[in-house]
Structure 1
Amino acid sequence: MYVRDVMSTRLVTISPEHSVWHAAQIMLAEHVSGLPVLDDGGALVGLVTEGDLLRRSELGTPLGEGGAPERARAYVQSRSWKVGALMSSPVLTIGEDAPLSKAAMLLGVHRIKRLPVVRDPQLVGIVSRADLLKVIATGGPDAEIRGDEAVRRALHARLAEAGNVLSRQPELHVEAGRVRVAGAMGSPAELEVVRMVVDSVVGSGFKDELTVEKERE
């Protein structure tokens, strides 16, 4: 799947010239925790979030540590009435044709909740952690696979996908709807991989004759 498949295209944005109070009101009304900031031409120039607003002087937040330049910057961010003064810029973005794995990596590594999706230079969507969780939530086990040959092919395909973490393939026996899996795997971890794969295809009713190869002395 790609970012375009899960991103939200309902965009709630704000201008750098708008007030921080207006930004807070929009976040509350729209139930969002961040707003893309667009210039007059519609190009993305920043992002303002709940975290930015929580550093405001209205809440009595101290300036924090750091040298004179850092403290001066924090002073402006905590007291300016313009969104442009406290928004994050430049913004980390992602393209709509990027795989979901890249979005998940960026959200995790940078510890952020959302990524603006751009079709340079225009903003076309937002992909968030919640969007990725929806993909997991709507997954679930595969539909029941019927027929010995269909089951056999599905098992071989899934085990082939896991080939990069298996030092060897197990023995598979499918007959009259009954599945038996056997063989000495390279490690307990590999054994669990095989069990997980088979269970995902046929459920827990298979005959498990897997073992772990003994280490050579």
Structure 2
Amino acid sequence: MHVKDVMTTRVVRISPDNSVRQAARMMFDNNVSGVPVVDDQGQLVGIISEGDLIRRTELCSGTPSPADTGLAPDEIAAAYVKRCSWRVGDAMTPDPVSIDEDASVTRAARIMHERGIKRLPVLRNGELVGIISRWDLLQAVLSARQDDLPAGDDAIRRSVLARLGDNTGLEGLNVTATVSDGIVHLWGNVETAGCRRAARLLAENVRGVRGVVEHFPDPYPR
């Protein structure tokens, strides 16, 4: 499934020349926590979020943040402009993390998790065409068509083996699998309880699996 299949195409956006107050009103009226900032050519130049706004002069009376302590003069000046300017272009976070519309939903979820962000602007040739959020990912999970998932012993085996490299902790443990009548048999140099649990869970999450049999080394040989 690609990002373009689940993204929201009706995107609230704002110009860098608009006011911060307009951005705040836009977020409030549309019940969103961040708004992409685009220039006159439709190119994404930044994003302004709740996090940017809560550090504003209107809320903190212009008091410097403790984080500014020890900064160089130019850095302190830049922090002051971001905190006190009325322009979205000054208050926004520039060069936000984005994703191409043809990227996979899995990649979008990984980026959100690794960066600790809630949404990703979606681009087509640099132009903003949508936005994908954690809510969109949740909807994609709930609406996934079951008939698109593996079924049959050979398909189950291929799916299990393909998932072994998905940052499971099982890389390099020579894990392999056979499948008979929906029962997955797992072999490999898997000795710790955590890795055993990950291997079992990986197999159990494949559609069509009726059971899992582990053939791993005994962690407590007699």
By the TM > 0.5 criterion, same fold?
yes
Measure the CA separation in 1 of the matches of 2:177 and 2:43: 54
Measure the CA separation in 2 of the matches of 1:170 and 1:75: 59
Measure the CA separation in 2 of the matches of 1:195 and 1:55: 43
1:79 equivalent among 76, 84, 90: 84
Structure 1: 5+ residue runs without aligned partners?
Answer: none
2:174 equivalent among 167, 171, 180: 167
2:123 counterpart residue number: 118
Secondary structure at the aligned position of 1:13 is classed as coil
Given that 2:160 and 2:206 are in contact with CA atoms closer than 8 Å, whether structure 1 keeps it comes out as no
Q: How does 1:125-140 map to 2 (within 5 A)?
A: 125-139=130-144
- After superposition, the Cα gap between the structure-2 partners of 1:199 and 1:118, relative to the gap in structure 1 and judged at 3 Å, is closer
The alignment's C-alpha RMSD in Å is: 3.4
**In the TM superposition, what is the alpha-carbon distance from 1:2 to its structure 2 partner?**
1.6
Given that 2:34 and 2:50 are in contact with CA atoms closer than 8 Å, whether structure 1 keeps it comes out as yes
Given that 1:13 and 1:36 are in contact with CA atoms closer than 8 Å, whether structure 2 keeps it comes out as yes
- After superposition, the Cα gap between the structure-2 partners of 1:72 and 1:193, relative to the gap in structure 1 and judged at 3 Å, is same
- After superposition, the Cα gap between the structure-2 partners of 1:2 and 1:186, relative to the gap in structure 1 and judged at 3 Å, is same
Q: Deviations over 1:81-116 (max 9, x none)?
A: 111121122233221112223323332333222221
2:98 counterpart residue number: 93
Q: Deviations over 1:166-200 (max 9, x none)?
A: 736456543xxxx6666765435458635752574
2:157 counterpart residue number: 156
Is 1:8 matched up with 2:8?
yes
TM-score (norm 1): 0.74
Is 1:197 matched up with 2:200?
no
- After superposition, the Cα gap between the structure-2 partners of 1:9 and 1:182, relative to the gap in structure 1 and judged at 3 Å, is closer
Is 1:21 matched up with 2:25?
no
Structure with higher Rg: it is 1
Measure the CA separation in 2 of the matches of 1:78 and 1:52: 8
Structure 2: 5+ residue runs without aligned partners?
Answer: none
2:217 counterpart residue number: 213
1:104 counterpart residue number: 109
- After superposition, the Cα gap between the structure-2 partners of 1:139 and 1:68, relative to the gap in structure 1 and judged at 3 Å, is same
Measure the CA separation in 2 of the matches of 1:196 and 1:92: 30
Secondary structure at the aligned position of 2:36 is classed as strand
Measure the CA separation in 2 of the matches of 1:163 and 1:109: 19
Secondary structure at the aligned position of 1:158 is classed as helix
